[in-house]
Amino acid sequence: MFEKIKRWWNGEDIFHKNNPNDPVIFIGWNNKKHWTSILIHSLLDFYMKHWQWIWGIVVAITVSQPWKW
């Protein structure tokens, strides 16, 4: 199960296939991730860049709400 999650998170490396008759050779690869993995990566990147603002807004909204006990 852990290997499936790891493969989903990291994506799949796709290597360039070269035509033997082509004079140009491409060396390299692409990493293809599932769209849900890309979405989670984007959300985590946003949180890691702006966590101070997010927590500041959450605390400000929480404190400003009138509590009814």
The pLDDT tens digits for 48-63 are 999 999 999 999 988 8
Does residue 32 sit in helix, strand or coil? Answer: strand
Give the integer Cα–Cα distance in Å for 9 and 3: 10
Give the residue extent of every domain in the chain. Answer: 2-64
Q: How is residue 11 written in tokens?
A: 């994506």
pTM: 0.66
C-alpha dist (Å) from residue 62 to 18, 56, 66: 58, 10, 9
Give the integer Cα–Cα distance in Å for 69 and 54: 26
Question: Average pLDDT of the chain?
Answer: 89
